[in-house]
Amino acid sequence: MKSQLKAGAVLSYIALFISSAISLLYTPIMLNLLGQSEYGLYSLATTAAGFVGVLNFGLGNAVIRYTAKYKTLKDEEGCSRLYGMFSIMYGILGIIALASGIILTLNSQQIFSNSLSIDEVDKLIVLMWIMVINISIGIGLGLFSVIILAHEKFIFQKVITIASLIVNPLIMLPLLIMGYGSISVAIVTTTINFITILINIYYCFRVLRIKILFKKLKPDILKEIIVFSSYIFLNLIIDKIYWSKDPFILGIYSGTAAISIYTIGVSFTGYFSGFSAAISNVFLSKVTGLVTNEVSDKELSDLFIRIGRVQYIILSFALSGFVVFGQEFIILWVGKAYRTSFIIAIIILVPMIISLTQSMGIIILQAKNMHKFRSIVYLAIAIANVLLSVILVQKWGAIGCAIATAAAFTTGNIIIMNIYYWKKLKISIPTFWKNILYMSSPLLVSLLFGITLNKLVLTESWAFFTIKIIVFSVVYSILIWFAGMNSYEKDLFLVPLKNIIHRFSKGKLYKVS
């Protein structure tokens, strides 16, 4: 399983790199072919239909947690009964999602008629129909992809993800060039999603040999699962409010152009979240096993700090690079009309980085079934976020939405949750922050170097811009290696590199002989 964990993390970063590269290449093409208005419309449809996606009720984490628990206890029949119950729950939630999506779609005209034209509303409704069907199918049959994760088959799951990432634009780009527009994009995405689901189902039954038994579970287990999932569900709602309410609010008050600018800015938060999640997401089963075996709080605290340090190395590099080169990149990428997107991104990213380096805390909370407090706090903060966004969007537009989101993020994710991790989860937060402060000196020096480099070398071409990025990356890597990384973190890089060199040298010797 260790190889699956390592490979899963590596493949997660490969998938993230491919996804980011495709997005960076594909977005300006899509903007050019669709235009700012239709791109904003597509983003609005994705956001509106995405609210239906929270109706998976957070069952995915419950499946992973309880599969790990039953596997630790070696109770195969209990696991099969669990899957029977979850399959029924997923099916019911898929139907509820479809019904909710239909209601939302039918009311789109009343919601967005103040800022959208009649033609835009008509196209929005078609897009939402397609996306609602896509999301409902994904929820109703979503159990099987989660079972693969629960059995820690990260390699297969990530390979499928990478394949779908590559296939998607290869099909969509010719259609866009031929003039089929955003509706074709939605249809292709739905089709690929359905094919992926079928592959997951085949893998579960033919490779993993899972069994689904429709027998009644013990009432106390069922109650525990419902309570556990209900708080995950609440977190999903809150996350959706955090990251999806702004385009929705802009759609009501500002129109499609503001949505496009905001979408470009907030898209960078997705890349940063991916950097963090690529590591932490593969640890839920492992941490659940540790909790089931009743390991000490110190061991979990050490894991929190160790993973947090690794995440900070990656995220501080990404953040410092974006602060220095972000505005220049956005202008080269999508044009001067999107200058404001850089400001939006920076406002949200700075507080977000701190939370992302502590994402293991969420995993530990879920493994210990202690995420109730986090859910309640986030609900209160999310409500305040919405109210503040509605006020500020009317004064400062998209930037106002970003300020409201950053303020809520700082209050909930940083201040309150750090206190809770320290006092209740017994994680040594002071030790964590000592580590982060010690590792921040390379970040600060890199920022100063990058800003100076940017002022001395002004560029308006991708070639010179790329050279500056490479120079900055080399300087940061040297600084973090000698002034920030410990022996464990260096080994994470050196050991795979030595293995590759060893295998390559053996291959050459074999060919020579």
| Residue-level pLDDT at 282 | 60
The pLDDT value recorded for residue 285 is 62
User: For residues 183 and 47, what is the distance between their CA atoms, to the nearest angstrom?
Assistant: 15
Same domain, 333 and 278: yes
Question: Which pLDDT tens digit goes with each residue over 450-477?
Answer: 999 888 877 778 888 889 999 999 999 9
- Model's pTM, two decimal places? 0.71
Total domains, the chain? 2
200 in Cβ contact with 41 (< 8 Å): no
Across residues 385-392, what is the average pLDDT? 91
Q: Copy the structure tokens of residue 44.
A: 């609005």
Q: Which two tokens stand for residue 415?
A: 């201040």
Question: Do 150 and 230 belong together in one domain?
Answer: yes
Give the pLDDT band (50/70/90) at residue 506: low
Same domain membership, residue 167 and residue 72: yes
86-121: burial string, b at 16+ Cβ within 10 Å, e else: bbebbeebbebbbebbbebbeebeebbeebbeeebb
Mean pLDDT of the chain: 85
State residue 495's pLDDT score: 78
If you search the block for the tokens 């739905």, which residue do you land on?
190
Q: Is residue 402 included in any domain, yes or no? A: no
- What is the band of 508 on the pLDDT scale with cuts at 50, 70, 90? low
Together in a domain, 60 and 182: yes
Residue 3 has pLDDT above 80, yes or no: no
Answer with the one of 195, 223, 244 that is the final residue of a domain: 244
- What's the Cα-to-Cα distance from 104 to each of 107, 120, 183, rounded to whole Å? 5, 16, 18
What CA–CA distance (Å, rounded) separates 153 from 160? 11
Does the structure show a pLDDT above 80 at 496? no
Within a domain: 95:
yes
CB burial of residue 356 (10 Å; 0-12, 13-18, 19+): buried
171-174: long-range contacts at Cβ-Cβ below 8 A with a sequence spacing of 24 or more? 173/26, 173/29
Which one-letter DSSP state was computed for residue 448? H
Question: At 513, is the pLDDT very low, low, confident or very high (cuts 50, 70, 90)?
Answer: very low
**Does residue 415 have a pLDDT over 90?**
yes
Residues 303 and 190 grouped into a single domain: no
pLDDT digits (tens, 9 = 90+) for 82-91: 899 899 989 9
Query: 208 and 314 share a domain?
Result: no
CA 473 to chain centre: 24
Q: Are residues 272 and 299 in the same domain?
A: yes
Please give the pLDDT value at position 155: 84
Residue 237 lies in a domain: yes
Number of Cβ within a 10 Å radius of residue 70: 21
Whether 336 is in a domain gets the answer: yes
Q: Do residues 237 and 265 share a domain?
A: no
- Looking at residue 299, what is its pLDDT? 87
The DSSP output letter for 216 is P
**Helix, strand or coil for residue 369?**
coil
**Domain assignment of residue 508, yes or no:** no
297 pLDDT above the threshold of 90: no
Closest-CA residue to 203 (of 164, 158, 145): 145
Percent pLDDT > 70 in the chain is 93
Quick one: average pLDDT of 16-38? 82
Residue 246 banded pLDDT, cuts 50, 70, 90:
confident
pLDDT at 28: 85
Q: Which long-range contacts (CB under 8 A, 24 or more apart) does 112-117 make?
A: 112/44, 112/251, 112/252, 114/252, 115/251, 115/252, 115/253, 115/254, 115/255, 115/256, 116/41, 116/251, 116/255, 116/256
Q: Are residues 88 and 236 in the same domain?
A: yes
Task: Over range 128-133, report the average pLDDT.
Answer: 94
Question: Which structural domain, as residue segments, surrounds residue 461?
Answer: 255-369+426-502
| Residue at which a domain ends, from 202, 223, 244 | 244
* 209 and 314 in a common domain: no
Establish if 430 belongs to a structural domain.
yes
| Residues 203, 324 share a domain | no
Boundary of a domain, candidates 188, 210, 244: 244
One domain for residues 168 and 275: no
Question: CA 488 to CA 240: how far, in whole Å?
Answer: 36
